[in-house]
């Protein structure tokens, strides 16, 4: 590389650093056309400088590679709040002004750009949805690599550069993410170039990898399956050498990626990638590089003191103000910007063209690339129901066939993600048309493993979540299936993605993406092989804390409603859909058309289960949400109809949990009139719910009849036991629900004492049988609705 080329790169880097510093500090006088005063500086100094110059350095060099090679690249920055760098480069490339017309490419635009950063009514201090070119929230420490890998699956021409901060590298999710190369198929996927950016410190402490001897670090990365390349900036002032060294290493890595991909894609049999080593870079650069070396007599550059705002007392310390001006003038802004504030043409010419700009790539605005799924026919997979509750089918086995056909019809835009639970969750039908992706050694005993496949299984919920996020954000579709209890592992990741979507939906320039679909099974009520540790329905409660526009929760009660819910979710955009259902065969209540109608309503009366009279208000309403609660509710209604002739019972099933909220609080919510029509204004309501009972109270506390609402649900009672014993332990069983009705309907308590006692005795006999025989009574496991029961569902 010539000296002139290096000087050009250095000019862009200085411009990016200047714009980054200005964002952290200034609200006016962006080009320093007059001496800096305290009035030019923001009252509150917020932002993170320490990692920013290193990010700008990397971004600068990636632009050269893109321009020279015509390479599509996605920049995923993981080091904390590196937002100033991402925004600075987007502005220098012109993308920022194209999207935000109020932020021009001149001095006035630079003033506006500086003022808005970490400012009321402005933009966050980290790379966020507002940042062009970003698919990764700056506060998501630990997720960089997995987002990058998710982005390149099925994108063979894309290279995602994942900058991993050395603080981030200490997190559990990131440590696991290095294994993602074992799931990358070079024949159909793009490539990830990890850059481990070691600047030595976190907020206030050194980092483990930065203090690790270089040979040990080399062996660690080599053990993960990478070929590490080291670039060390030992002298902060020797910038020419740093540029030259990094450029040489970057070119070597790009050549290596190209060679690996060509070998895999041109070999008749496909190259054996089991021993392939993808390149990665370890860049050691000073924290706060090019910033103040010493402040108040203490070292700053190259230490933890540069992490946030190196000069923090601008308004009370004249020396800090002078140091800030000297710092900014050290980049020689007059050589970078014209008199009117535009980036000088010879520097601007270094940016890639059009969509090749990393701030403008459609891969960072995946809705531009999104195409609708080709969905199989719902009716081809639906279960025929000659009479409600007389046939059994597994919802997960049924939907497995549907997912199989989705995979077959969408071989490049849909993947199924899960932590080694696809078969356990009864979705094995997908293996009729695809395999699990696996690049390491294959052995004869292995089943459904192949170099290429549409099923991504790794025993890390973090990776499944992060891969799917990256896959969706770059314009594809997918499902994350998981055991209900262990999806909690990604609570924090869910939080960040929900927050991302909430903001993403408000930005007109960001295009809608396919929804994130959770399919949770092996749930709290059916744990044949597991116990208390696997019994936790609380993810729903966690989900419900997020912005209403983003969240949907579905509890399909049978196989056909599961199919209908899945079909619906596959068509949605910009939401997080949580579907919870069992994998064991359960009664099928609704025929194909009835199930479609029920899912579209989200809530409805199960006329076949109740005993109310047309035109007469019921005596009691039995509500239910979830497959097992629905079964127990319908059984309780039958017990009551036989034991208390004339009792008018209405059974209401909820498949879309959001329907319980008021329409003013959620787009799917019921109006007060509709809610009162279903649940009445004054009659007792006994509600059996899949999860923790207080959530139903939370969703309905403002409803007219809330005072008469009694909810049964999971109450942290559990063990390795039978399904019906689990129901009894938590008091959602049919006998308890029937007794609840007797206790709450006026006059029944006094007139039905013997019937209530009979229910108690039946419950006791069922409990004792589980202890004696180790299984549930046949009258429980084999229970179905009598075909002579009223059927008003059609």
pLDDT tens digits along 280-297: 999 999 999 999 999 999
Q: Is 693 helix (H, G, I), strand (E, B) or coil?
A: coil
Quote the CA–CA distance of 558 and 552 in Å, as a whole number: 18
Backbone φ, ψ for residue 762 (5° rounding): -60, -40
Residue 328 has pLDDT above 60, yes or no: yes
The predicted pLDDT at position 578 comes to 98
DSSP 478: E
Quote the CA–CA distance of 71 and 49 in Å, as a whole number: 29
Q: Is 479 helix (H, G, I), strand (E, B) or coil?
A: strand
CA nearest 791: which of 564, 574, 611, 552? 611
Residue with tokens 């919802």: 395
The predicted pLDDT at position 689 comes to 98
770 touches 724 (CB < 8 A): yes
Q: Which residues pair with 159 in a beta bridge?
A: 73, 191
Quote the CA–CA distance of 85 and 165 in Å, as a whole number: 14
Mean pLDDT of the chain: 95
Tell me which H or E stretch contains 482: strand 477-483
Q: Quote the pTM value.
A: 0.96
Strand 586-587 with 576-580, pairing: unpaired
The predicted pLDDT at position 786 comes to 80
The predicted pLDDT at position 430 comes to 98
Quote the CA–CA distance of 202 and 200 in Å, as a whole number: 7
Listing DSSP states for 579-597 in one string gives: EE--SS-EE--S-HHHHHH
Residue 791 has pLDDT above 60, yes or no: no
Strand 191-198 with 158-165, pairing: parallel
Task: Please count the other Cβ atoms lying within 10 Å of the Cβ belonging to residue 187.
Answer: 16
Backbone φ, ψ for residue 467 (5° rounding): -60, -45
Assign domain 604-781 to its CATH architecture: 3-Layer(aba) Sandwich (3.40)
The predicted pLDDT at position 787 comes to 63
Q: Is 689 helix (H, G, I), strand (E, B) or coil?
A: strand
**Could you tell me the two tokens for 413?**
């835009």
The fold adopted by the segment(s) 378-586 is Rossmann fold (3.40.50)
Residue 778 has pLDDT above 80, yes or no: yes
**Confidence label for 793 from pLDDT (cuts 50, 70 and 90):** very low
291 touches 49 (CB < 8 A): yes
Report, as an integer, the average pLDDT of 213-221.
98
pLDDT tens digits along 559-592: 999 999 999 999 999 999 999 999 999 999 999 9
Residue 269 has pLDDT above 80, yes or no: no
516-521, strands of its sheet edge to edge: 449-450, 436-437, 455-457, 414-418, 477-483, 516-521, 576-580, 551-554
Residue with tokens 């980049």: 331
pLDDT tens digits along 389-407: 999 999 999 999 999 999 9
Q: Burial-class residue 447 by CB neighbours within 10 Å (0-12, 13-18, 19+).
A: exposed
131 touches 90 (CB < 8 A): yes
The predicted pLDDT at position 374 comes to 98
The predicted pLDDT at position 534 comes to 84
203 touches 165 (CB < 8 A): no
Torsion of CA 406, 409, 415, 416, to 10 degrees: 30
Q: Which residues pair with 688 in a beta bridge?
A: 624, 712
The predicted pLDDT at position 272 comes to 61
Report, as an integer, the average pLDDT of 596-614.
96
The predicted pLDDT at position 268 comes to 53
CATH 3.40.50.970 in the chain, residue ranges: 3-362, 378-586
**Confidence label for 527 from pLDDT (cuts 50, 70 and 90):** confident
Whether domain 3-362 has CATH 3.90.930.12: no
Quote the CA–CA distance of 594 and 434 in Å, as a whole number: 32
Q: Is 229 helix (H, G, I), strand (E, B) or coil?
A: strand
Strand 436-437 with 392-393, pairing: unpaired
609 touches 634 (CB < 8 A): yes
Q: Which is it for the CA torsion 326, 332, 334, 337, positive or negative? A: negative
Quote the CA–CA distance of 757 and 766 in Å, as a whole number: 14
pLDDT tens digits along 21-63: 999 999 999 999 999 999 999 999 999 999 999 999 999 999 9
């Amino acid at each position: 590389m010539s000296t002139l080329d290096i000087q050009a790169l250095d000019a862009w880097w200085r411009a990016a650093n200047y714009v980054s510093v200005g964002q952290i500090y200034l609200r006016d006088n962006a080009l320093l056309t007059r001496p800096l005063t305290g009035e030019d500086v923001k009252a509150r100094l917020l932002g993170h400088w320490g990692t920013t110059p290193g990010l700008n350095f990397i971004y600068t060099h990636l632009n050269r590679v893109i321009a020279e090679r015509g390479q599509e690249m996605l920049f995923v920055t993981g080091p904390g709040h590196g937002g100033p760098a991402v925004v600075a480069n987007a502005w220098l490339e012109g993308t920022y002004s194209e999207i935000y017309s109020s932020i021009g490419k001149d001095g006035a635009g630079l003033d506006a750009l500086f003022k808005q950063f970490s400012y009321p009514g402005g933009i966050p201090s980290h790379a966020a949805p507002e940042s062009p070119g970003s698919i990764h929230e700056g506060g998501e420490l630990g997720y960089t690599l997995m987002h990058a890998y998710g982005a390149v699956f099925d994108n063979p021409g894309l290279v995602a550069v994942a900058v991993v901060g050395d603080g981030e590298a200490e997190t559990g999710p990131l440590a696991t993410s290095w294994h993602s190369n074992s799931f990358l198929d070079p024949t159909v996927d793009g490539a990830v170039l990890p850059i481990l950016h070691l600047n030595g410190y976190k907020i206030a402490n050194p980092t483990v990898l930065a203090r690790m001897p270089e040979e040990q670090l080399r062996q660690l990365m080599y053990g993960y399956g990478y070929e590490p390349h080291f670039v060390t900036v030992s002298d902060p002032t020797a910038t020419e050498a740093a540029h030259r060294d990094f450029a040489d290493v970057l070119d070597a890595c790009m050549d290596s990626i190209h060679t690996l991909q060509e070998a895999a894609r041109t070999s008749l049999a496909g190259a054996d990638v089991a021993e392939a080593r993808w390149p990665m870079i370890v860049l050691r650069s000073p924290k706060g590089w090019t910033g103040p070396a010493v402040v108040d007599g203490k070292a700053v550059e190259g230490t933890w003191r540069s992490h946030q705002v190196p000069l923090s007392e601008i308004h009370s310390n004249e020396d800090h103000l002078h140091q800030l001006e000297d710092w900014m003038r050290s980049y020689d802004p007059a050589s970078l910007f014209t008199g009117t504030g535009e980036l000088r043409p010879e520097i601007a010419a270094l940016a890639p063209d059009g969509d090749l700009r990393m701030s403008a790539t459609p891969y960072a605005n995946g809705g531009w690339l999104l195409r609708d799924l080709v969905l199989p026919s719902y009716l081809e997979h639906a279960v025929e129901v000659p009479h409600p509750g007389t046939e059994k089918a597994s919802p997960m086995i049924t939907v497995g066939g549907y997912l199989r056909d989705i995979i077959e019809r969408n071989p490049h835009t849909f993947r199924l993600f899960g932590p080694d639970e696809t078969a356990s969750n009864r979705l094995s039908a997908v293996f009729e048309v695809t395999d699990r992706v696996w690049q390491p050694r294959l052995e004869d005993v292995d089943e459904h493993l192949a170099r290429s496949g549409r099923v991504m299984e790794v025993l890390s919920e973090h990776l499944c979540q992060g891969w799917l996020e990256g896959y969706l954000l770059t314009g594809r579709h997918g499902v994350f299936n998981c055991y209900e209890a262990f999806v909690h592992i990604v609570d924090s990741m869910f939080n960040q993605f929900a927050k991302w979507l909430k903001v993403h939906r408000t930005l007109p320039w960001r295009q809608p993406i396919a929804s994130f679909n959770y399919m949770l099974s092996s749930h709290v009520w059916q744990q044949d092989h597991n116990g208390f540790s696997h019994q936790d329905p609380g993810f729903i409660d966690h989900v419900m804390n997020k912005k209403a526009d983003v969240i949907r929760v579905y509890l399909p009660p049978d196989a056909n409603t599961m199919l209908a819910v899945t079909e619906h979710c596959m068509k949605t955009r910009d939401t997080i859909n949580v579907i919870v259902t069992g994998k064991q065969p359960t009664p099928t209540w609704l025929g194909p058309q009835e199930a479609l109608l029920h899912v579209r309503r989200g809530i409805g009366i199960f006329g076949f289960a109740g005993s109310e009279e047309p035109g007469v208000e019921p005596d009691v309403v039995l509500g239910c949400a979830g497959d097992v609660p629905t079964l127990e509710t319908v059984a309780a209604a039958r017990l009551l109809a036989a034991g208390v002739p004339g009792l008018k019972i209405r059974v209401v099933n909820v498949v879309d949990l959001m329907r319980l909220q008021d329409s003013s609080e959620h787009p799917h919510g019921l109006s007060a009139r509709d809610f009162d029509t279903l649940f009445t204004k004054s009659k007792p309501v006994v509600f059996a719910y899949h999860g923790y009972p207080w959530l139903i109270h939370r969703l309905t506390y403002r409803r007219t009849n809330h005072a008469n609402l009694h909810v049964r649900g999971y109450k942290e009672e559990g063990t390795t036991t039978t399904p019906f014993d689990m129901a009894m332990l938590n008091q959602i069983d049919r006998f308890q629900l029937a007794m609840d009705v007797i206790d709450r309907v006026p006059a029944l308590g006094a007139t039905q004492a013997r019937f209530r006692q009979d229910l108690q005795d039946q419950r006791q006999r069922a409990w004792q049988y589980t202890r004696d025989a180790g299984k549930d009574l046949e009258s429980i496991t084999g229970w179905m609705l009598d075909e002579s029961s009223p059927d008003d569902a059609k």
